[in-house]
Every structure is written in structure tokens, then in C-alpha cells.
Amino acid sequence: MSDPVLKPDLCVIGAGAAGLSVASVAAAFGVPVVLVERGRMGGECLNVGCVPSKALLAAAEAAEAFRRASPFGIASAKPRVDWPRVRAHVDHVIAAIAPNDSAARYGAMGVQVIRAEARFTDARTLQAGDATVRARRYVIATGSVPAVPPIPGLAETPFLTNDTLFSLPARPDRLLILGGGPVGVEMAQAFRRLGSEVVLVEQGALLGKVDPELTAHLAAALERDGVEIHAETAVESVSSGPQGLVLRLANGRELTGSHLLVATGRRVNTEGLGLEAAGVDVDPSGILVDASLRTRNKRIYGIGDCAGGPHAGDRLTHMANHHAGLVIRNALFRLSGKVEQVAVPRVIYTEPELATVGLDEVEARKRHKTIRVLRWPYAENDRAQAERLTAGEIKVITTASGVILGAGIVGARAGDLVTTWTLAVKKGLSVADLRDLIVPYPTLSEVSKRAAVSFYAGQTRGPMVRRVLSVLRAFG
């Protein structure tokens, strides 16, 4: 007897951050949901991405605290790094979070979880293992996988990606990193602080299109840690030999190492899904979606890392959750909504952290006739001085009248501080709104307020203000 056809309201393909968000919210509303996942529940973020990388960065920060204790009157020391225990810490963090993403938990919510390959057989039908699904709506959330550049010799040379990096049995003696994006710089600092020699190579600018003024602070911090950086440098070939792995650069130099991490971006994971049969278009950027994340087949949505085209936005976990919210609004409640393109925070979790939101200076000058650039250094913040976290600054971009267009922060806890500026960009607030905000003293959040107040610095010396004050003094 053949298995019956499943006919849920919603079928979600992929149990990463985006897919799990859709499934859990839909189930909370009592909507029948089928969730299909061929790999590990939790996807890339939980298992080989955000979670393990931040756990490793936390271990690296703990090691660095030993080296930097002297200014506080505590003897500095060289940390003894026990790599198996570092790995155990990373594994513990993943294990602590994993139950939240487990098949058992989602089953308890009422979600029918199918652990199998998924493939569309026509525009309305999906085959998932032995199960046939004919859902009212489908959500494709299959994520992305590491992209490997076509460098001569790379395919024949052992290399790591974030999929394999966190299961290393031993700490690399000398780690070569190919790619100076967020993953590259975060792992460069983490492994350097944990005792590896680290060499980072980036064919373009470090961190790509991030404001170079902010990036300069981060590059200086990496170099202080001992990371060897080769930016604007192409790799001509990769090989392995008796001396280890060898990167031959376009400038004629050769770099050797014990391990190679390829961190040159990601590509969409849509192989085997039968998207052509489903009437879903794909290009190198991913599944082509409109501003509401619908594909050409209006029954099917593409969200998270696998979504592509001009409407999808950045590949970020919090962007994936944003996508999930839009699909719930549209698919379940028929409410309109578009992907946010401007008020999207982006964070590099190094020390110092680097966070941005909205327009940077270059883009703002393209869109607006006149802008103001406001700055405030961490060194002028009392809490930063107390904790010796004085490296960095905030840079705010406004219109001539003070409407906030964007902000960039490089410094301690920038990833937390950028939330205020995300709200400001989202709601079209002005510097006056932040000027009048009461913030607790002493906190790093005062950096944000001081930057906003600096918009008015010239007015205190203006002749009109001085005349008004003079007249008011005359009246006692």
C-alpha cells in the first residue's frame, strides 16, 4: 500500500535558522506544517557557523585576557591553550542550543518533520523520501555552502572550510586563510589568540565594501595581535609539499603553512531540488524572488541564504529571521511586506567589534546633496577608559538637517550599540531624538549620544545663539 499524500498548509524545506523560524511560528498559529531536512537540524548557523565561531572567539578572548592583565595591576601571563578542551567548549555550546532546534521539539509543536532529501516533481508536488507532499504553500530555506574559488591546485590540496574547521583534532601551527571577509577576519583573530601563527590573504580590500576608515581600526588590531595580512593580493596557485601548504601570490611571494582555511564566500544550496520542474528560477545569486520573497511559482517562497536576486538582501542569520516573518505575514495572513534593504545591521565579531547599519559615507553622498559626518572616539568615553577599551570610534551619517542615514561603530560591544542606530534608521529619527535620550552613566552607550550631540557643536559658538543668551541675561 502506498503512503498517503501529505497535504499541509505549509511545507518548509530546510531546518536552518530561516526554515525553523517559519515552521515554529506557523505551528504556533495552529497551521499544519511539514518540515523537510536531509542534514542536521539547526543548519549551518548552529552546527558550523554563527554558534561555533562565536564560541571559539569567546575562548580566544579569554586567552587574550591573560596577556592584557598588566594595566589593571594583575600580572600578565602566557595562556596555556588546551585545544581538546577548547573544542569541548565549542561542542558544549552547540549541544546546549541544539535541543531548541531538534526534531523532537518541533514534533512536540505539531510540526511533521521528515528527515529526507526533497525534490519537486512538478509545480505543486514535492517528494521527500517515501512521502509525497502537496502543500498549499512551500518555503525553500536550504541555505548555502562554502564557495571554493577556481585557483589552480586548490582542488588537489587539503583545505578547510567552516564546515570542517571546528572539528580539527589539533590546533594549526600556521594557518593560512584565503579570504578577508567576516569569517576570514574573525577566525584569523581567534586562532592567533589561541596560539596559531596566522596569515590572511585577500585579493581585494579587507572586508570588501565596509567603510575603509572603520576597517583600518580592525586591521590595526589584527596586526597588533600578530596576524600577517596580505590585502589587495591575488593567489595564483596552491600546492602541498614537504614544507607544507604553499600559496603562490601574484606578486611573486610564497606563503607556507600547516593548514589552509578557504573563507571566500558561500554559494546557494539548491542542488537536487528539481526547481525547474517546480517553475522556480535560479541564477548564481540564488533562487530569484520578488520583494515579498515569492518565486515565479507564486506558491513557492525562497528565504534565507538560498534566496537571490536584487530583493533578497544579505546572507545573515537575522536577515533570515526577517525573511521568515515576511513569509508568515504573506503566506498565512495575506499581508503585504517587503524585504528591508537599509535598516539591516551587520556585525564583525572581532575585538574590537565592527558594526554598521544604513548608508555609509560613500553611498550617502551619492543619494543626498549635502550630508553631515559625525564622530566620537571611544577614548572620550569614561566606561571605555575604566575598562581600557579605548580603541575605536563611532561614525554617523546624517542629512544636512540631522536625519540619521547610517552609522558605523568600531569598538567594544559595537554589535550591541548598533541596535539603537538600527531603530533610528528604520524610523527616520534625527540626531535630536538621540540628543534628548537619557542614557545611563557610565556606559559605552554614551558614545552614541555624544556623537549625536556633536551635530550641534558649532551652534554653541554661533553669533545668533550668543545674542539670544545676552538678551535673556538682561532680563535676569
| Binding positions | 54, 142-144, 179-186, 202, 265, 305
Contact predicate 106/35, CB 8 Å:
yes
CA distance 306 to 153: 28
Residue with cell 530583493: 311
Residues composing the chain: 476
User: How far does the chain reach from its first CA to its final CA, in angstroms?
Assistant: 97
- Backbone phi and psi for residue 264, each to the nearest 5 degrees, phi listed first: -105, 25
How would you label 423-450 residue by residue, b for 16+ Cβ within 10 Å and e otherwise? ebbeeebbbebbbeeeeeeebbbbbbbb
* Residues of the binding site for FAD: 54, 142-144
Contact predicate 33/112, CB 8 Å:
yes
DSSP H helical ranges for 34-181: 43-48, 50-67, 83-97, 103-109, 162-165
Report CA Rg, the chain: 25
Cα dist. 300→33, 307, 329 in Å?
Answer: 14, 12, 14
* Residues of the binding site for NAD(+): 179-186, 202, 265, 305
CA distance 60 to 330: 43
The helix/strand/coil state of 213 is: helix
Q: Is 231 exposed, middle or buried (0-12, 13-18, 19+ CB in 10 A)?
A: middle
The helix/strand/coil state of 316 is: coil
